[in-house]
Structure 1
């Protein structure tokens, strides 16, 4: 069995102080993908730079206290790729790939467009640039799992207040249509949704810090494990862990019967 976890940390140092590491130790995950480090490597403690028993790799943003992604794996990667060749987004630390002997895992952090029109325009540029990257990944013929905060709720079932959010970043028609192309045209699989087609509020992975969103479970499902069909078909169980809070996102855990 292969256990993969994805979690937007909303700051690795903050999540560490909320007992992330002891929880991770109990999970016995094989791969952990993290997003929104909000730190650069010199900011990390030795334990953060190299969690016990894991190989840790990071792609930090050039801007301090911003973005950044990482991957921790039990097995040593055979190849590591930071960024996908688009300077605007590589500078923001949004893509990290590791190749393991029989599997590729990617930690991905899509831009949020909620802060301003300029940030939404940046998000649309990312979507345009990343769609051909996804096609190129599919063409490699490897089994791939892309974990991360995609910052898009795909369907109405994926957020609490879908009617009032149709003009808001994260649920815009253009964003949802883009994600549909990822699934329907390119053949990527939304692994959690394939396991639980009708899961509603139990599937949410993010809650605004405003109001009482967490207490009232007014959430969004914007964290995904999106995979090639071969390994997606080997997914056996998934869960969104909510018993403890390490950030404004919840860990997305999926167990795969892998290697096949």
Structure 2
């Protein structure tokens, strides 16, 4: 059994102060994928390199912004920090580790909520670059688990206030249609939903109002699987006993 955890930490130093890295040590995870670390390696001390793991960071060029990380117990055959896209690399949004039989990617998809230009960039990346990349990945036959903050809800059960958010980034029809194509036409698998069909399974809550207290959330974080991993997910849950950021970790077990 292989356990993979993914979460947006909204600043790895802030998450560490809330006990995140100590929590990770007790989860027996084989691979941990993080997004939005908001730190360069020069800003991190030994606390951020748990001795149980090989730690690989891909920070953004801009300090205090974006960035991705993968911790892994097993030494990977290859670590890929350069995606095919320069702007994605500049913002530290992609890192991949390859093992003998499978690969894991940690990715942080753009938020389009700040301004229309970022939303346009998000859709351009998803449709013109990322979808063709994923289609090629499927053809390659490689077994890949793509972990990350996709900044998109998929269906009505994945968001508390469905009707109220139809015109908001992350719940736009064109964004959800992109996931429809990925899952229903291209054949990739929403790993969480393969084994967990419960409603109100959210991974992000706004810091405004009482969103967390009232469970007014969105499921925007995923472990997305290449089609050849169908049936390999054994357990999937969202950890909410303690808060480390505005996102909650997804814990999934695989029989690979």
TM-score, length-normalised on structure 2?
0.97
Unaligned segments of structure 1, at least 5 residues: none
Contact 2:138 2:227 in 1 (8 A): no
Aligned residues, how many?
255
Q: Residues 147-190 of structure 1, C-alpha deviation per residue, up to 9 Å, x if partnerless?
A: 01000001111100010100100010110111111112221100
Worse overlay, 135-144 or 228-237:
228-237
Worse overlay, 135-144 or 157-166:
135-144
Q: Tell me what 1:220 maps to.
A: 218
Is 2:137 the partner of 1:156?
no
Displacement of 1:118 in angstroms is 1.5
Is 2:71 the partner of 1:72?
yes
Q: Tell me what 1:231 maps to.
A: 229
User: CA distance change for structure 1 residues 71 and 206 in 2, over 3 Å: closer, same or farther?
Assistant: same
The correspondence of residues 28-47 of structure 1 with structure 2, limited to 5 A, is 28-47=28-47
- SS of equivalent to 1:80: strand
Contact 1:19 1:246 in 2 (8 A): yes
Q: Residues 42-93 of structure 1, C-alpha deviation per residue, up to 9 Å, x if partnerless?
A: 1111221x21110111111111100000100000111111132211222111
What RMSD, in angstroms, separates the aligned Cα atoms of the two structures? 1.0
Runs of 4+ in 1 over 3 A off after TM superposition: none
Taking the aligned partners of 2:244 and 2:76, their CA distance within structure 1 comes to 27
Q: Tell me what 2:240 maps to.
A: 242
- SS of equivalent to 2:133: helix
- SS of equivalent to 2:243: coil
Displacement of 1:230 in angstroms is 3.3
Contact 1:84 1:133 in 2 (8 A): no
TM-score, length-normalised on structure 1?
0.96
Taking the aligned partners of 1:68 and 1:37, their CA distance within structure 2 comes to 5
Taking the aligned partners of 1:238 and 1:38, their CA distance within structure 2 comes to 27
Q: Tell me what 1:185 maps to.
A: 185
Taking the aligned partners of 1:232 and 1:80, their CA distance within structure 2 comes to 25
Worse overlay, 92-101 or 229-238:
229-238
Is 2:196 the partner of 1:176?
no
Contact 2:196 2:237 in 1 (8 A): no
Q: Residues 168-219 of structure 1, C-alpha deviation per residue, up to 9 Å, x if partnerless?
A: 000101101111111122211001111123x111x10000001100000000
- SS of equivalent to 1:224: strand
